[in-house]
Amino acid sequence: MNSRKKKRFGIEGTRLGWISVVLNIMLFVLKYAAGIVSGSVALIADAWHTLSDSLSSIVMIAGIKIARKPPDEKHPFGHGRAERIATMMIGFFLLIVAYEFIRESVGRLTSHQTYHYGILAWVATLVSIIVKEVLARLSFRAAKKTGLKSLKADGWHHRTDALSSVIVLIGLYFGSRFWWVDGVLGILVSVMICVAGYEVLKEAFSNLLGEKPDEETIRKIFEIVVQQCNEKVHLHQIRIHEYGQHREMTAHIKLQGQMSLEQAHKVATNIEQIVYKELNISAEIHVEPIEQEK
């Protein structure tokens, strides 16, 4: 991906992040007010979940900004993994929010606290469902277009908030009949937040630890090698390392031992250039001679 595309994608992610921050703060105020008026722990938990979306969006914006910085002496492969670290922080935000409101909801159940939903609670919940689902879909679409993991994580944050608001909406309907509904809904919302946080962290950790290249990428690399080599070639020891939008690959190929150094170098260089052009992977090919059968 060239620098112009990286810049455009970074701007797109940042713009969506700031829109998310503004809308989430507005929704937080609306839902928190509804929660205070009604005395509902589920609504208050849902409000803080929404505010945590604003915090995660700010983290995402910072991560994208750092990830766009060019390589330097200390970071020759760029700063792309800053975006992965931002994704992990979003996951931790979700887990913290989940823990706090599971604790609060259990306390509400043990103390038999009551609550009184009103029209403000209905309005806040319905508006939240619509806005958060729209933000989730925009984030997923932008993540698919840009490849930014933090945008995808932010999208799941929006989606879980929308789903938690759906659960609260169910509670609005049944809440007047059963005193325990609000506490149970608070626990359900918290569990959903916890699951979302776990999924976000699992993907981020897996990427930072180093993942096996996907089969489609390996297949395309083999196709490129076959197309570029007239001689019989053996491709092995493929390693791909991701640094955000930048990917580095090392691989070994075996060529006929009678080939000249210049010919072998030309074959390796051709492979490196095509891999970069078609797959946007910076490749380094190590050439080895084929062992002749005795």
* 42-80 residue pLDDT tens: 778 778 878 877 777 777 777 777 766 776 777 666 666
Average of per-residue pLDDT values in the chain: 77
Q: Tell me: do 117 and 240 sit in the same domain.
A: no
List Cβ neighbours of 227 (8 Å cut-off, separation of 6 or more). 274
Residue 247 · residue 278 · CB < 8 Å: no
Residue 148 has pLDDT above 80, yes or no: no
Residue 38 has pLDDT above 90, yes or no: no
Distance CA 231, CA 134 (A): 54
Among 160, 182, 209, give the residue marking a domain's end: 209
Distance CA 98, CA 109 (A): 17
Give strand pairing partners of 286: 252
Helix, strand or coil, per DSSP, at residue 247:
strand
Q: Tell me: do 199 and 249 sit in the same domain.
A: no
Among 176, 209, 242, give the residue marking a domain's end: 209
Q: Tell me: do 174 and 131 sit in the same domain.
A: yes
Q: Tell me: do 77 and 119 sit in the same domain.
A: yes
Please give the model's pTM, rounded to 2 decimal places. 0.57
Closest by CA to 128, choosing from 189, 46, 35, 187, is 46
Residue 261 has pLDDT above 50, yes or no: yes
Sheet with strand 281-289: strands edge to edge:
234-243, 246-255, 281-289
Q: Tell me: do 229 and 186 sit in the same domain.
A: no
Total structural domains in the chain?
Answer: 2
Please report whether residue 294 resides in a domain.
no
Q: Tell me: do 42 and 164 sit in the same domain.
A: yes
Instruction: Give residue 271's identity as a one-letter amino acid code.
Output: I
Using CA atoms, how far residue 197 sits from 145, 192, 232, 291, in Å, is 23, 9, 49, 51
DSSP 68: T
Residue 67 · residue 80 · CB < 8 Å: yes
pLDDT in tens, 194-225: 887 888 788 777 766 666 677 777 788 877 77
Residue 132 has pLDDT above 70, yes or no: yes
Quote the pLDDT of residue 134: 92
Q: Tell me: do 34 and 99 sit in the same domain.
A: yes
Quote the pLDDT of residue 9: 52
Q: Tell me: do 204 and 63 sit in the same domain.
A: yes
Please report whether residue 49 resides in a domain.
yes
Q: Tell me: do 101 and 164 sit in the same domain.
A: yes
Quote the pLDDT of residue 181: 77
**Structural domain containing residue 268:** 215-289
Residue 258 has pLDDT above 80, yes or no: no
Average pLDDT score over residue span 237-253: 76
pLDDT classification of 130: cutoffs 50, 70, 90: very high
117 vs 193, residue with greater confidence: 193
Average pLDDT score over residue span 158-184: 77
Q: Tell me: do 157 and 134 sit in the same domain.
A: yes
Residue 294 has pLDDT above 50, yes or no: no
32 vs 257, residue with greater confidence: 32
Residue 85 has pLDDT above 80, yes or no: no
